[in-house]
Amino acid sequence: MPDPDVVPRRERLRAEALADIRRHGYEQIAAGGPAALSLNGIAKAMGMSGPALYRYFASRDELLATLVTESFEDLAQTLEAAASAATGSAAERLRAAVVAYRTWGRTSPERYRLVFGSTYGSGELDPERIIPAAARSMAVLLAGLAELDPDAPGPTVQPPALRREIQRWGKVRAGDQVRDPGVLLLGLLAWSRIHGIVSLEIEGFYEQVGVDPGLLFDAEVEHLMAQRAQR
């Protein structure tokens, strides 16, 4: 029989190695973008051989898919926690989640760029892991919008082709919990604008033009609330 102390130690060492590999991966991405991710570079930084590292990740794409999935899950957990911790009205819960989105992007810019500033966030590398992880954070925004006025439908979506695409997006990539095409459209448009602000902020654009991104972001959140109220 195996020594009962040996297996836990092996598992612990493996978990530590995996954590180190991911940490080095994020550091590479922060320094040079997703294209800079290199298993051989990570192995060198960790004092390992290339073949030894491949015992943990079979390919660069496998590691990249893990980092994308992990980043989406971390974002989703952040938004869910913010919405759950908020007390009071549905508007306050939604506002807390949206503010948490901006905070996550500002404090984890390398992760934000990885999932939203590259094609890797689309899920192509590993759809079964990445797409559900990505859908979780969008589901928080959509649920928040729906809860602002649960008895009122969203705006009419025209043309029919757009309505079909929006509904398909909601089912496949946004958690499939909100079905109203008007709310889905409002959520996608709102995320597009919010994403634009956060993306420009982490790249330093607003410093150049002399606009406070926090004030601009708050104005966009209020605009979103007003849009939902207008139906």
> Using an 8 Å Cβ cutoff, are 157 and 182 in contact?
yes
Q: Give the pLDDT band of residue 230 (cuts 50, 70, 90).
A: confident
Tokens of 133: 């992880």
Comparing 187 with 10, the larger pLDDT belongs to 187
CATH superfamily of 67-230: Tetracycline Repressor, domain 2 (1.10.357.10)
Residue 9, pLDDT score: 78
> Using an 8 Å Cβ cutoff, are 63 and 21 in contact?
yes
Of the candidates 102, 104, 112, 100, which has an alpha carbon nearest to the alpha carbon of residue 29?
112
Is 90 exceeded by the pLDDT of residue 186? yes
User: In whole angstroms, what is the distance from residue 63 CA to residue 18 CA?
Assistant: 10
Q: Whose structure tokens read 């007390």?
A: 87
In one-letter notation, the amino acid at residue 52 is A
The whole-model pTM stands at 0.92
Q: Whose structure tokens read 């889905």?
A: 184
- The residue extents of the domains of the chain are 1-58, 67-230
> pLDDT exceeding 90 applies to what percent of the chain?
83
First to last CA, the chain: 67
Please name the residues in contact with 111: beta carbons below 8 A apart, sequence gap of 6 or more.
26, 67, 71, 74, 75, 104
Write down how long the chain is.
231
Q: Which pLDDT tens digit goes with each residue over 85-121?
A: 998 899 999 999 999 999 999 999 999 999 999 899 9
In one-letter notation, the amino acid at residue 219 is A
Q: At what angle do helices 60-85 and 127-148 cross, to 10 degrees?
A: 20
Q: Which pLDDT tens digit goes with each residue over 58-88?
A: 999 999 999 999 999 999 999 999 999 998 8
Tokens of 115: 């999932």
Return the HEC string of 187-226: HHHHHHHHHHHHHHHHCCHHHHHCCCHHHHHHHHHHHHHH
Task: Calculate the average pLDDT of the chain.
Answer: 93
Residue 47, pLDDT score: 92
